[in-house]
């Protein structure tokens, strides 16, 4: 039997295809793994509510890691098991900067998504995630609140520049990451998918060596590195793929391909089945 007991899976461009559907190969492999008592956990930058749609579709009962690791919450619970927020003064300072520099952003507070206006960025976010932003006008009115995260939206070049700028400016006071080429996110410094995976594994009594993590973007890197087996999808940047234990060949069915190899194959173990970093690319 496989030693993998917990699998953490990113949503966009990992579990989901370009049309935000779950391929039959992925679905079948996940269901078979669950039947073998492997815990399946979604790990996404999306809100809990957005991720919940796919958890219910798959019949997943395990806690959902959402907001890039800032929240861990069971599918049907009203309250999270773990919730890390930004410092109130720091969040207000960041918002002031974004407003002054006229940067489009979303503000995540108490389960709601707020935007200054319903522009093309807010519309695109809604189409992708199903979360409709509440139009709040001047977001600075939330000064004193502790948002779960702040998400800046822009071109890939602007996103990379903002990531480098805010990472250097705030250093260990916040966690900055890129979840999609157009999204740069700011969170509590402990709110990463990696820390969430470790917390959940400990909560479930699963050694981190018996976990698998699958992703496609920079915000997945620490989680992929932390897991016993780390998988990056074929669409991931080359420097990310180079750090993976395995890279599947099938983009849309890569989750299923990875689970088949490391969990479902008779007699497979992480040591026996592992390939060189970037293998399969």
| pLDDT (0 to 100) of residue 229 | 97
Reported confidence tier of residue 96, pLDDT bands at 50, 70, 90: very high
Residue 158, CB-side half-sphere exposure with 13 Å CA sphere: 11
Lowest-pLDDT range, 22-31, 147-156, 263-272? 263-272
- For the cut 50, the answer to whether the pLDDT of residue 192 exceeds it is yes
Reported confidence tier of residue 179, pLDDT bands at 50, 70, 90: very high
Reported confidence tier of residue 44, pLDDT bands at 50, 70, 90: very high
Strands 211-215, 6-9: pairing kind: parallel
Question: What is the CB neighbour count within 10 angstroms for residue 184?
Answer: 29
| pLDDT (0 to 100) of residue 274 | 45
Give the residue-averaged pLDDT of 106-126.
95
Domains, the chain, with CATH or none: 6-82+191-273 (3.40.50.1000), 88-187 (3.30.1240.10)
Cα 222 to Cα 4, 40, 123, 236, distances in angstroms: 19, 19, 30, 14
Tokens representing 148 are 């779960």
Spatial distance between the Cα atoms of 53 and 117, rounded to a whole number of angstroms: 26
In the numeric block, the tokens 């973007």 are attached to: 217
| pLDDT (0 to 100) of residue 135 | 97
- What percentage of the chain reaches a pLDDT higher than 70? 94
- For the cut 60, the answer to whether the pLDDT of residue 267 exceeds it is no
| pLDDT (0 to 100) of residue 278 | 45
**For the chain, how big is the Rg over CA atoms in Å?**
18
Cα 28 to Cα 31, 199, 210, 225, 256, distances in angstroms: 5, 27, 21, 26, 7
Instruction: Output the pTM of the full model.
Output: 0.90
Give the residue-averaged pLDDT of 17-21.
94
| pLDDT (0 to 100) of residue 70 | 98
| pLDDT (0 to 100) of residue 60 | 85
């Amino acid at each position: 039997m496989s030693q993998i007991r917990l699998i953490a899976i990113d949503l966009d461009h990992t579990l989901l295809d370009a049309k935000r559907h779950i391929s039959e190969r992925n679905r079948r492999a996940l269901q078979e793994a669950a039947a073998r008592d492997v815990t399946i956990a979604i790990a996404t930058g999306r809100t809990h509510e957005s991720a919940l749609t796919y958890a219910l579709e798959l019949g997943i009962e395990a806690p959902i890691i959402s907001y890039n690791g800032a929240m861990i919450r069971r599918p049907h619970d009203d309250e999270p098991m773990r919730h890390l927020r930004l410092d109130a003064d720091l969040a207000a300072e960041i918002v002031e900067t974004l407003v002054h520099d006229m940067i489009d952003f979303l503000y995540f507070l108490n389960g709601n998504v707020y935007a200054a206006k319903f522009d093309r960025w807010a519309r695109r976010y809604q189409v992708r995630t199903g979360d409709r932003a509440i139009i709040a006008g001047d977001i600075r009115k939330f000064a004193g609140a502790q948002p779960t995260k702040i998400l800046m939206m822009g071109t890939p070049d602007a996103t990379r520049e903002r990531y480098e700028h805010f990472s250097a400016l705030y250093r260990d006071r916040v966690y900055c990451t890129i979840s999609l080429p157009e999204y740069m996110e700011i969170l509590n410094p402990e709110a990463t998918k990696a820390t969430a995976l470790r917390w959940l594994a400990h909560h479930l009594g699963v050694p981190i060596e018996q976990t698998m993590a699958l992703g496609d973007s920079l915000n997945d890197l620490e989680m992929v590195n932390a897991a016993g087996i780390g998988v990056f999808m074929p669409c991931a940047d080359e420097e990310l793929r180079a750090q993976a234990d395995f890279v599947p060949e099938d983009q849309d069915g890569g989750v299923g391909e990875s689970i088949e190899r490391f969990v479902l194959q008779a007699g497979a173990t992480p040591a026996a089945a592992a390939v060189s970093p970037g293998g399969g690319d």
